[in-house]
Structure 1
Amino acid sequence: MKQHIETITQLLLGAAYADKRLAGAEITRIRSLLSTLLGGGEVPEALLRQINTFSPAAFNPQQAASRLDGLPVEDKRKLLELVASVNDADEELDLAEDIYLRTVAAALGLSQEEYSDLTLEILGGDELHGFLA
């Protein structure tokens, strides 16, 4: 996945901005993930510039994810786990982050069964019947 590191960086940044609030913990998580993906050590200056100049308003996650079409399903799943990790970094999950993850998953061509464990589950009325009994 190293050859796709710029696209992966963009998708992770998109996750950080999905809820319209950028937390320092999210940037810290992205830098840590990038360092790990690149084999450890410092994040290259080019990626740091990408982090600092990222424009969420101009970013299209579907277009970015489509550049990764040739990745094996296992790598696509791993990428979604990284996106979920960024979503978790600020310890606040919301629907915007969940929608972003689902958008990236769909653009990667994954079925809901392949990533449903990473998404929020909204319970319906019949599932809540007797919950507090």
Structure 2
Amino acid sequence: MKQHIEKITQLLLGAAYADKRLAGAEITRIRSLLSTLLGGAEVPEELLRMINTFSPAAFNVQQVASALDDLSTEDKRKLLELVASVNDADEELDLAEDIYLRTLAAALGLDEEKYSDLTLEILAGEELHGLLA
């Protein structure tokens, strides 16, 4: 996945901005994830510049994801785990972040059973009956 580090950085930044609020914890998490992906190395200056200049309005998740067609199913799943980690960094569950993860998964061509454990589960009215009893 190292060869796709710039695309992965963009996708992680897209996750951070999915709820229209950028938290410092999300940026910290992105930097940590990038360092880990790079084998513990310092995050290169060009990636730091990308983090600082990222424009969510100009970002297209489908376009970036399409450049990752050559990733294995396992690597695509790992990428979704990284996105979920960024989503969790601000300790808030948000539908916009969940939609972003699902949109990315679809753009990567993953079937829902490959990532459903990373998404929010919406309960129907009948499933809520007796839940607090």
In structure 2, what residue type is equivalent to 1:117?
A: D
Partner of 1:98: 98
TM-score (normalised: structure 2): 0.98
Q: Which ranges in structure 2 are unaligned for 5 or more consecutive residues?
A: none
Runs of 4+ in 1 over 3 A off after TM superposition: none
CA–CA separation in structure 1 for the residues paired with 2:21 and 2:103: 19
Percent identical across equivalent pairs? 87
Equivalent pairs, count: 133
TM-score (normalised: structure 1): 0.98
Deviations 1:71-124 (A, max 9, x none): 100000000000000000000110000000000000000011000000000100
| 1:119 equivalent in alignment to 2:113 | no
CA–CA separation in structure 1 for the residues paired with 2:131 and 2:14: 36
Deviations 1:33-52 (A, max 9, x none): 00000011210001001101
CA–CA separation in structure 1 for the residues paired with 2:41 and 2:10: 20
In structure 2, what residue type is equivalent to 1:80?
A: L
Q: Which ranges in structure 1 are unaligned for 5 or more consecutive residues?
A: none
Partner of 1:29: 29
CA-based RMSD of the aligned residues comes to 0.6
CA–CA separation in structure 2 for the residues paired with 1:26 and 1:8: 15
CA–CA separation in structure 2 for the residues paired with 1:55 and 1:115: 27
